[in-house]
Chains A and B, each alone.
Chain A
Amino acid sequence: MITKQKSRVDACFERRSEDSKIMSLFITAGYPDLESTVDLILGFEKNGADIIELGMPFSDPLADGPTIQYASNVAIANGITMKKIFQMVKEVRKSSQIPIILMGYINPVLRYGIDEFCREAAECGADGLILPDSPPEESSLIADAAKNNNLDMIYLVAPNSTDARMKKVDELSSGFVYCVSVTGVTGARQGEEVARSVERFIGRVNQNVTKNPKLVGFGIKNHDDAFIISKQVDGFIVGSALIDAIRKNYPNNGWMDNVFSFVKELKHG
């Protein structure tokens, strides 16, 4: 009998010690340029990232705020393609076992071909998928192909998700469940506002999502935000604030080191 190898995502959560949090970082593939993505990922890992969410750019990112819209547009203008994204993952895998989740909108995946996409994503070393515009209702389109290739499907819960829905998301997801801390597009809110509204929501999440680990994201700007918000879950996700840090520094001398300092600060304060 073939025993399934433990996934990199599961292993990552098992390694977590009680007093630390998993830090998942979102970066748009091909932003700020095609050459930097792999180095950024490897540097993020060295500076405390536990999981990478690698954004697959889409022309019409309707769940994203201005920051990620901007990064997507730059990446598309830079000539990003799905093949290049797979190549980046492959390159990272030469020297790193950090879990990589591909995150993006369903259309580029559909266009590539669901089966081909899942097979090639898995072959190059990606670990899972987050498709924010493909909720559980539409999961039948991709769930089997993902499963056959041992890719985790990660669904989202939001403050307005009912208890029943949270349970359903928990059941359908593997790897972890993505908790969207506020209603809104990515990057929209200030940290304090997020922190205030999030407690009750996380309480409900913990009652209903019991099978999977939980990461919370949307609107986290710094270490303090992150640790307040993720107190009752396994960790946190930062996206827009990281892209903003890149945007502020690129292409000045030493821009990457400045970004890595920001990452280190996010994790360790």
Chain B
Amino acid sequence: MKYTAPTKQGYFGKYGGKFVPEILIPALEELEIAYEESLNDPIFQKEYHDLLEEYVGRPTKLTFANRLTDHYGRGKIYFKREDLCHTGAHKINNAIGQLLLARNMGKTRIIAETGAGQHGVATATACAKFGFECVIYMGAEDMERQKLNVDRMKLLGAEVRSVTSGSQTLKDATNEAIRDWVTNVENTFYIIGSVVGPHPYPLMTRNFHTVIGEETKEQLRHAEGRLPDYLVACVGGGSNAIGFFYPFIDDEDVKMIGIEAAGLGADTDQTAATLTIGSPGVLHGSLSYLLHDSEGQVQLAHSISAGLDYPGIGPEHSHLHDTKRVHYFGITDQQAMDAVKLTSEMEGIIPAIETAHAMAYLEKLMPLTQKDEVVVVNCSGRGDKDMKTISEWFS
């Protein structure tokens, strides 16, 4: 059966929806209309695709990871190089798409949340390119561990607002961004950085990223003359993963694996492995798996990677988890950091710590593969922003 989610109401199976205050409903309805119009607007589509090509640098390469392939001695490993996108991660595919929508809707002020800072940098970059006022909300802890990206956002002309509530990470930055949006909804567009939030954000953000999977399909047809056997991607909110997976979703023989951050271990309370140990709940506008206690209070997540340090997950991933179309596993801080080192040394690619979670799963996956099988890992971002954390870890 062909995959058609979400429904008109924004449901992927039983997940999704619009759990937001009344004040935001008109804004979401306006956005739904603008987004739908953009799909059939050749001018919008051309402008977006031209920007992806001329400014973001797409298509990004598909690189054969020959030394890692030899290292494991089984199937062939390829990397889809989203780290080569302008600003250093996939996030800009979506930031530019949403910014064009905001402009067409006549909004003058842009806000966004950021964890790793990659979405914040991508949004600040798009705002600089188009001359928009830009406010980025970022947890105080994340500002510390992703300082390079804070400096980049400021240089790009954005105001970075430090969020000191809760765990001082991505969840709390998102709360503050939503509060800003509720207050300034008239002139403000909220560019959400992952496939989370109320409908139509999970749908829209997914579709701005499906270029990743479409290119991969085409590039692999060239390189191998066939479909991949495995796709592997890290999952924070889930935007790089769904953009990578979605074009293959009806190709039943393609196995898909999403990697969550297990932090210190999914059996500890220092984890962000939402699908592994969470249960359905509502956070930030949609119903999806969530880390929360028996009273429904959201738990503080933990991951060494700021971009995966989030107690929720996009609703479509909850659906794909329940239907088993995608399989999800956890990778710990330690395993991810080992993969940062291995990938750097063997492929000359320093991955973001988020991305390294996907790389780390190769340790488990590759011994199970056959020589003629093909594994593609989405290399969602580069690790420059993480050098401080990486140096400290290995010192």
Residues of A bordering B, CB below 8 Å: 58-65, 69, 76, 81-82, 105-112, 132-135, 137-138, 155-158, 160-162, 165, 169, 180, 183-185, 188
Contact = CB atoms under 8 A, between A and B. Distances in A.
Contacts of A105: 282
Interface in B236-294: 280-285, 287, 290, 292, 294
Contact of A137 (B25, B26, B171, B294): B25
Contacts of B290: 107
A60 B177 CA distance: 12
A161 B25 contact: yes
B175 interface: yes
Shortest 4 CB-CB distances between A and B: which pairs? A111-B296, A108-B296, A59-B297, A184-B183
A58 B284 CA distance: 13
Nearest to A57: B297
11 contacts: A107-B282, A108-B296, A111-B294, A132-B21, A135-B21, A137-B9, A157-B22, A160-B186, A161-B22, A183-B23, A183-B185
B350 interface: no
Given A110-B282, A161-B26, A180-B23, A138 B166 contact: no
Interface centre among B18, B27, B166, B296 (most CB of A within 10 A): B296
B379 interface: no
A106 B20 CA distance: 10
Interface string B171-209: 100010011001111100000000000000000000000
B19 interface: yes
B329 to A, nearest CB: 26
B179 A65 contact: yes
B185 A76 contact: no
A62 B183 contact: no
B389 interface: no
Chain B interface size, as a band, is 35 or more
Given A105-B282, A107-B283, A185 B295 contact: no
A235 B237 CA distance: 42
A133 B290 CA distance: 16
Nearest to B290: A107
A135 B22 contact: yes
Nearest to A61: B175
A180 B185 CA distance: 14
A65 B165 CA distance: 12
A110 B286 CA distance: 13
B296 A107 contact: yes
Contact of B19 (A82, A133, A184, A185): A133
A107 B23 contact: no
Contacts of B185: 160, 183
Nearest to B176: A62
A62 B23 contact: no
A34 to B, nearest CB: 14
Given A107-B290, A183-B183, A183-B185, A135 B25 contact: yes
Given A107-B292, A107-B298, A108-B297, A180 B22 contact: yes
Contacts of A157: 22
Contacts of A82: 295
B17 interface: yes
Nearest to A134: B19
Contacts of B283: 60, 107
A255 to B, nearest CB: 26
Nearest to B18: A137
Contacts of B178: 62
B182 A60 contact: no
A162 B281 contact: no
Contacts of B297: 58-59, 76, 108
A63 B23 CA distance: 10
Contacts of B23: 158, 160, 180, 183-184
Nearest to B172: A60
B171 A60 contact: yes
A86 B21 CA distance: 25
Interface centre among B17, B184, B295 (most CB of A within 10 A): B295
Contacts of A169: 22
